[in-house]
Chain A
């Protein structure tokens, strides 16, 4: 069996462009999902019973159904009631909602890991609960959550490939197009596998740098 890896090389710019779509969809969904996830985590750990029930129901439903089905619901299902989103927006909305449930659980776990003594020390210094959160609990909580957040981001990035099924032109869909154009199946998917692997290694490395730079004290 002979391989022709050189044949795919001219198409590399197309693949890199598609990889860029995968990356920015994942980053946007991760940031937006974290912004939604934080209040969800607060609601789940908070005193209001109603908010606790609402947020944990949302989290359980999101975490126990596949992303692909959520994307189908947004792309095809909502179209039926007049809400039409293009593939990019469907992917962004679906991945954001999906990710918010996971980040909510991660934030809750991270802040639960901060020793209660720190909170008590904050209030002993006369800080309000908001000040205690901002100046005492926030940083150790985020640091405790960072490894799980990194993991979640890598998983979200890898699952962005599911958006190819609702015809978003990201890396997986570019690979399938290239496969049917060149018929160099093994070579095309080897390139794809290496691009996905390299990106996830870079994300993990970036997280280690962040831990060293941003969480030094």
Chain B
């Protein structure tokens, strides 16, 4: 069964895996920026800012990734007349919006875990809001935020498989195409699953190692 599954089948899957990695890296990067901004906004001193951030975070956390992706895929060309059905950008925007909401919750939890006195001491030293966050609160919060962020990164690898519905040819879509051609769905998707495991398990191991080191 595995013998016939040669290089011809494996190559498109490996190319798909590279694109999955690219999607995760891009949306992880933008998601982190969104998450930092909205996580800080969740604990901002000005109440309306908190409300806006809470609405975004709670609403997105109540949505399937698939709905976010389909909505953007169909809605962007309707709302922006010059835009076309661009798969790559839609995939990255969708996954970033999704990741941003979850990372914002992680960031908020991490900021709240920093003892209040730290921020107060910084203001007593005459630091303003930005200085206080840059030099006192965020460095301590980041340490707390890393382990759950690594956990979320694994979710993001798996969520990226849903991008196949808007026909972006990442690992899962590559698997679907290959299995249509070779009529061997069992082996093909076992290989796809193994590739996902190879992408995701090292992240899980790194997370565990990091947590042990922290204690």
List the interface of chain A (C-beta within 8 A of B): 1, 60-61, 63-70, 72-73, 76-81, 154, 158-162, 164-165, 172, 175-176, 179, 185-186, 189, 192-193, 196-197, 200-201
Contact A61 B197 (CB under 8 A): yes
Q: Are B189 and A72 in contact (CB under 8 A)?
A: yes
Distance A19 CA – B169 CA, assembled complex (angstroms):
29
The reply to whether B62 and A64 form a contact with Cβ atoms under 8 Å apart is: no
Assuming the contacts A161-B64, A172-B70, asked whether A78 and B186 have C-beta atoms less than 8 A apart, the reply is yes
Whether B196 sits at the interface, judged by CB under 8 Å, is yes
Structural contact, B66 and A161, CB atoms closer than 8 A:
yes
A48 to B63, CA, bound (A): 41
Q: How many A-B residue pairs have CB under 8 A?
A: 119
Does B71 contact A73, Cβ atoms closer than 8 Å? Answer: no
Contact of A189 among B61, B75, B201, B204 (CB under 8 A): B75
Q: A73-B190, A79-B185 are in contact. Are A66 and B204 (CB under 8 A)?
A: no
Given A64-B204, A158-B65, 16 further pairs, Cβ under 8 A: A60-B204, A64-B197, A66-B158, A66-B160, A69-B172, A69-B196, A77-B185, A160-B64, A162-B66, A186-B78, A193-B63, A196-B62, A196-B63, A196-B67, A197-B62, A200-B61
What's the nearest-Cβ distance from chain A to residue B102, in Å? 10
Determine whether the beta carbon of A76 is less than 8 Å from that of B204: no
Rounded to whole angstroms, the CA-CA distance of A165 and B172 in the bound complex is 12
B75 near A66 with CB under 8 A, answer no
The answer to whether A64 and B63 touch across the interface, beta carbons within 8 angstroms, is: no
For residue B165, CB closer than 8 A to chain A, the reply is yes
Also in contact, A65 and B74, with CB within 8 A (given A77-B186, A165-B165, A193-B63)? no
Q: B154 within 8 Å of A by Cβ?
A: yes
Residues of A within 8 A of B184 (CB): 80
Structural contact, B186 and A81, CB atoms closer than 8 A: yes
Cβ of A68 and Cβ of B164 under 8 Å apart?
Answer: yes
Among B66, B78, B184, residue most surrounded by chain A Cβ atoms (within 10 Å): B66
CA distance A37 to B161 in the complex (A): 25
Please report which residues of chain B, range 145-183, place their CB below 8 angstroms from some CB of chain A when the two chains form the complex.
154, 157-162, 164-165, 172, 175-176, 179
Q: Are A176 and B70 in contact (CB under 8 A)?
A: yes
Query: Do the beta carbons of A201 and B67 come within 8 Å of each other?
Result: no
Smallest distance from the beta carbon of B54 to chain A beta carbons, Å?
Answer: 13
* Beta-carbon contact of B67 and A192 below 8 Å: yes
Q: Point out the residue from B65, B159, B186, B197 that lies within 8 Å of A65, measured CB to CB.
A: B197
Residues of A with C-beta under 8 A to B74: 179, 185-186, 189
Q: Which residue of B lies closest to A80 (CB)?
A: B186
A186 vs chain B, min Cβ distance (A): 6
On whether the beta carbons of A158 and B64 are closer than 8 Å, the reply is yes
Residue of B nearest to A72 (CB): B189
Residue numbers in B under 8 Å from A200 (CB-CB): 61-62
The answer to whether A67 and B186 touch across the interface, beta carbons within 8 angstroms, is no
